[in-house]
Structure 1
Amino acid sequence: MSAEGPMPANDQPPSRPKVIKTNQQQVVLYVVLTLILSLVTVWSGRTLLRNSETLTFAVGDANSDQARFAAKLADVLKNNTSRFRLKIVNNPDNAKALAQFDRKQADLAIVRTDNKVPSRARTLAILEHDLVLLLGPGNKKIKSLAELKKKKVAVVAESDSSLAFVRTMLDAPEGSEAAAKIQMAPQGMPLDKLFSPGGYGAVIAIVHASRAVRDKAYEQVAKRGGFTLNAIDESKALARKIPGIYDETLTAGTLSASPEIPDDDLETIGLEWLLVTQSRMSLTSAGELARIIYENKSELGLDNGFATRIEPASVDKDAYVMAHQGAADYINDDTKSFMDKYSDMMYLGAGALSVIGSIFAAIYAKVTRIAPERAGQLSTAILDIGERIEHAHSLDELECLQEELEGILRGAIVGLRDGSISTDGLDTFKLGYEFVRDEIGMRRDYLKRHAGDVERRHAGDGDKRQVDGDKATLPNDDTNVVVVKTAQSA
């Protein structure tokens, strides 16, 4: 009678790779969630910042060039989804607007360089140039400004502030006889009527450079021989004498192409219109505002020509009005424009990514992560095999235990490789494996040495059971003796 051991059960699919897959899925999920939440945080922060700053823009009356430019700038900021919003405050005139700016009640204003410039004003952009045109009637030449002190002079300009500028330029103090001869021309009066008999001996027109190029009135009057454009030879001396005045050069044909006026390059003087802000404005805000103005200057020009040739602020140290440092940084290095635009968002994104990533990492490590099985825990299964060795009475049973032990070893090696089993308790595992392996070897040697005794013992046990069974079946039958003897002889 052979004692065959139980056949090994079918190997179950390993469960640890599922653990690894689950952990990997968790890592991917947390990475995706970190990126999504960081983007949401940055987007929310950018939206908040965009709507977080309102700038007060002090201007003159609602019909002035300054007020209409402010309205266009407000539209540009809105269309570019800028974080700036403009609050436009109208005043009776631009002088009152500058006074409001000087009291720190406004963040932005427009100033012409012949006006009193507040000490805290810093330039963001040059909006316009004003030209000073010295006109004489007919073909009469005016050789110097000194000649005008004997003439009646009409000042053609948009505001009375230009009258004070002309009197300063001609060195005609307020209240003097020369000052009395310098008068504002009636608004809208044609140039040829100003030169009519008994009229003015000279006209000084202060006009926007962009408007003078477009104005056809000069060409029409010139064709009738109505005026002569004169050079101001003292332009450089005046620019050194009076702050805010600049020497300008009119190229041939600026006012009229036919007839060509001037017929050659001509020296004169000019003024600048500056968009200014408070010196306390942050570098980032000033740089961003300057960038928006420069990049959208084609949309900021007025139909009458004002602000159609916006220029960067002068960054020279001797500029009449210093450029704001934020605007100067942008002007001096265009590569900073990207950082000026997105640096806040980049810092916010980096901070959000770090915080959110740390939170998810802590959750994964402490809560949701399925920890790898410790190698020491496998020692329990090995010792269980060791306890079953002494009950193995055949080599087949012993081979089953050997295969089971080797299966645990293979699983441990695979788990250590893919991370589903940690090295914690690995020495205990090795010690238990070697101990049980040696026990199996010794048990195998024992079974081989006593294989005959085991078979005889098993056979004797079988005969005894058979005899006991026969006696129980035929207790009083004489034929039982024959059966028993036959069983024993067999």
Structure 2
Amino acid sequence: MKESIFRKSSIFAALGSIFLIIIFAILLFQDNKRVHTLVLVTGQKEGQYYAFGQALSKVVHNHNHRIKIEIIESNDPQENLELLQGKKAELALVQSDTIVNNSTKAIAFLFPEVFHLMVRQDAGINDISDIEGKRIALMSKGSGSYNMFWRLQEHYQLDVEQIKTIPLPITEAHQALEDGEVDGLFRVVSLENPAVIQLLRNPQIKIIPIDQGAALRLELPALEVMSIPKGSYHGASPTPAEDLPAVGVRAVLITNKKISREVIFEITRILYEARNELVQEFIQAAMIEQWDESPHLGFTFHPGALDYYNKGNPSFIVEYAEAIGLCLSVSMLLISSVWQLRSWFTGKQK
């Protein structure tokens, strides 16, 4: 009687092991076919963050159909960070001066964003101190450009009461300067931005230098001393007419530390190795910063991004972690099954 029960138990154990092996194989197959959908929160549809997000989504999907990036717009970088930390997005774009917590990881430092102060020729503005008593259009409240203007105001000790600031959406702000409804427009934006190129075709509008970049860095280390090269916005009759001192920040692609290491590795790989395709979609991608090991002002990098930066490929264990785990599980089940079958045959012989 005991021998019969033992034999039946052994048979059921063996069948159970085979069943588990089949289940594991099905799950692995499904994982290999699964599409990873990530939400990337960018900025206003008229802005460069949204345009870059669309370009990245297209190029990533072209190179890996298992990764789909959905683009959503937002009003400002702080909202982007909140959506990421609230797990309503897996990816976000912010400026390099953004303060992040330890759960937020960088994937890449992207294109520079330069402070642009554009004014009307007849406004009597030749340097930033001249904007007192003038009407200055800013980007929407809460935006990175809006916040940066007030950092400049503090540094240059401008009288807030003497400046009429008018926050506006991007398109409306540009139009207001064109129409002479404001004397100047301040915006943090990448070089050769199409909207800025269009605006500076108007001979009545010019760019004002923003110097003291090194001093500004003492107050805000995330800033970089930059320049707007001669002819950046028009070559035949150069606009600007000479290299202008400037200051700026960088756009940063960030994610949550819990997002799949393999997925972030693949996004990072495509970001750098498919750069030519990305530039065709978004020309400022040509200025994406090469990664180095120096500190990045409060940002730490996602392990998946570091896998790419450090070795160019994920380690064997990282890349095949799931397959290795499956093999180990199957091996243990097979060993258990063989042992149980051996016990069954031994019992039968007895």
What TM-score range do you get, normalising by the shorter chain?
0.5 to 0.7
Percent identity reads 19
Which residue identity lines up with residue 182 of structure 1 in the other structure?
Answer: T
Which residue identity lines up with residue 206 of structure 1 in the other structure?
Answer: V
- SS class of match (2:175): coil
Aligned alpha-carbon RMSD (Å): 4.6
Tell me, yes or no, if structure 1 residue 211 matches structure 2 residue 218: no
Aligned to 2:161: 177
Per the alignment, do residues 152 and 127 of structure 1 end up closer, same or farther by CA in structure 2, a change over 3 Å counting? same
Q: 2:134 aligns with which of 128, 152, 159?
A: 152
Instruction: Please list every run of at least 4 consecutive aligned residues from structure 1 whose deviation after the TM superposition is greater than 6 angstroms.
Output: 41-44, 172-175, 352-359
- SS class of match (2:173): coil
**Separation of aligned partners in 2, 1:58 and 1:78:** 17
8 Å Cα contact 1:50/1:82 also seen in 2: no
Which residue identity lines up with residue 161 of structure 2 in the other structure?
Answer: E
**Separation of aligned partners in 2, 1:212 and 1:154:** 21
**Separation of aligned partners in 1, 2:67 and 2:327:** 24
Which residue identity lines up with residue 308 of structure 2 in the other structure?
Answer: Y
Mark the structure with the bigger radius of gyration: 1
Higher relative contact order (CA 8 A, sep 6+): 2
- In the TM superposition, 1:41-440 aligns within 5 A as 45=28, 48-49=31-32, 51=34, 53-60=36-43, 65-67=48-50, 69-81=52-64, 83-86=66-69, 95-115=78-98, 117=100, 120-138=103-121, 144-148=127-131, 150-155=132-137, 157=139, 161=143, 162-171=145-154, 176-178=160-162, 180-184=163-167, 186-189=172-175, 191-194=177-180, 199-200=182-183, 202-211=184-193, 215-218=197-200, 220-221=201-202, 224=203, 226-281=204-259, 283-300=261-278, 305=283, 307=285, 309-312=287-290, 315-334=293-312, 336-337=313-314, 339=316, 342-344=319-321, 347=324
8 Å Cα contact 2:124/2:130 also seen in 1: no
8 Å Cα contact 1:302/1:308 also seen in 2: no
Per the alignment, do residues 214 and 304 of structure 1 end up closer, same or farther by CA in structure 2, a change over 3 Å counting? farther
- SS class of match (1:264): coil
Per the alignment, do residues 73 and 174 of structure 1 end up closer, same or farther by CA in structure 2, a change over 3 Å counting? same
Tell me how far 1:70 sits from its aligned partner. Answer: 4.2
Q: For 1:119-163, what per-residue CA distance to the aligned partner results, in whole angstroms no more than 9, with x for missing partners?
A: 532211234322212334439886653343x23142354776222
- SS class of match (1:209): coil
- SS class of match (1:256): coil
Which residue identity lines up with residue 55 of structure 1 in the other structure?
Answer: L
TM-score, normalised via structure 1 length: 0.51
Which residue identity lines up with residue 330 of structure 1 in the other structure?
Answer: Y
- In the TM superposition, 1:19-34 aligns within 5 A as none
Per the alignment, do residues 289 and 50 of structure 1 end up closer, same or farther by CA in structure 2, a change over 3 Å counting? farther
Unaligned ranges ≥5, structure 1: 1-40, 363-490
Per the alignment, do residues 120 and 350 of structure 1 end up closer, same or farther by CA in structure 2, a change over 3 Å counting? closer
Tell me how far 1:234 sits from its aligned partner. Answer: 0.9
Tell me how far 1:256 sits from its aligned partner. Answer: 1.7
Tell me how far 1:277 sits from its aligned partner. Answer: 0.6
**Separation of aligned partners in 2, 1:250 and 1:290:** 29
Unaligned ranges ≥5, structure 2: 1-23, 340-350
Per the alignment, do residues 50 and 109 of structure 1 end up closer, same or farther by CA in structure 2, a change over 3 Å counting? farther
Which residue identity lines up with residue 135 of structure 1 in the other structure?
Answer: M
**Separation of aligned partners in 2, 1:107 and 1:183:** 33
- SS class of match (1:154): strand
